[in-house]
Amino acid sequence: MDDRPDSAQPPPQAADASAPPTSPPASLLDRVVGHVRQAGSDLMSVTLGRLLDAGGPPPAPPGAAPAEPAPHPPEKAGMLHAVAERLRGAADAYVAAKMDELSARVDEKLDHIEARIDRKVEELHRQFTELRDRELRHRLRMLKYTLVFTVLVGVLSLLYKWLSKHWIA
Average pLDDT of adjacent 10-residue blocks, the chain of 169 residues? 50 51 66 81 75 59 56 66 80 89 94 96 97 97 97 96 83
pLDDT at 74: 64
* Domain annotation covers residue 144: yes
The overall pTM is greater than 0.75: no
* Domain annotation covers residue 108: yes
DSSP 97-108: HHHHHHHHHHHH
Detail the DSSP E strand segments found in the chain.
Answer: none
pLDDT at 146: 97
* Domain annotation covers residue 66: no
* Domain annotation covers residue 57: no
pLDDT at 1: 46
pLDDT at 142: 97
* Domain annotation covers residue 153: yes
* Domain annotation covers residue 48: yes
* Domain annotation covers residue 79: yes
For residue 106, the tally of other CB atoms under 10 A from its CB is 10
Provide the domain count of the chain: 1
* Domain annotation covers residue 99: yes
pLDDT at 127: 97
Cα–Cα dist 46/73, whole Å: 19
Q: Which domain holds residue 95?
A: 33-52+72-166
Residue 166's contacts (CB-CB under 8 Å, 6 or more residues apart) are none
pLDDT at 68: 55
Cα–Cα dist 52/55, whole Å: 8
